[in-house]
Amino acid sequence: MRIKNISLILILLTFLAKPVFANFDVSARTAIVQDYLSGKILFEKDADREIFPASMTKIMTSIIVFDLLKSGELSLDDKFLVSENAWRLSQAGYSSMFIMVGDEISVENLLRGIIVSSGNDACIALAEGIAGTEEEFAIMMTEKAREIGMENTNFTNSSGINAPDNLSTVRDILIMSNYLIKNYPNYYEYYKETEFTWNRTGGDPIKQGNRNPLLYKNIGVDGIKTGYLAYEKYSLASTIKRNERRIIAVGSGFVSKNSRSKESLKLLTYGLTNFDTINIAKKDEIFDELEVWQGTKKTVKSYISQDVYKTIPKAKKKYLKVSINYQGPLKAPILKNDILGKVNISYKDEQIGEYDLLAFEDVKRQNIISRLISSINFLIWGDV
Active site residues: 55, 58, 118
In contact, 161 and 94? CB cutoff 8 Å = yes
What is the arrangement of strands in the sheet containing 30-35, beginning at the earlier edge strand?
Answer: 41-45, 30-35, 245-254, 233-242, 221-229
82 touches 125 (CB < 8 A): yes
Cβ atoms of 156 and 137 within 8 Å: the answer is no
How close are the terminal C-alpha atoms of the chain, in Å?
16
Q: Are 16 and 189 in contact (CB under 8 A)?
A: no
Which of these, 53, 27, 69, 92, lies nearest to 224 by C-alpha position? Answer: 53
Q: In DSSP terms, which residues pair with 247 in a beta bridge?
A: 35, 240
Omega prior to 333 cis, within 30 of 0: yes
How many Å apart are CA 95 and CA 122, to the nearest integer? 10
Query: Reduced to 3 states, what is the DSSP secondary structure of residue 37?
Result: coil
Nearest residue to 170 (alpha-carbon basis) of 28, 39, 3, 340: 28
> Element (H or E) spanning 71, and its range?
helix 58-71
Closest C-alpha among 218, 322, 213 to residue 278: 322
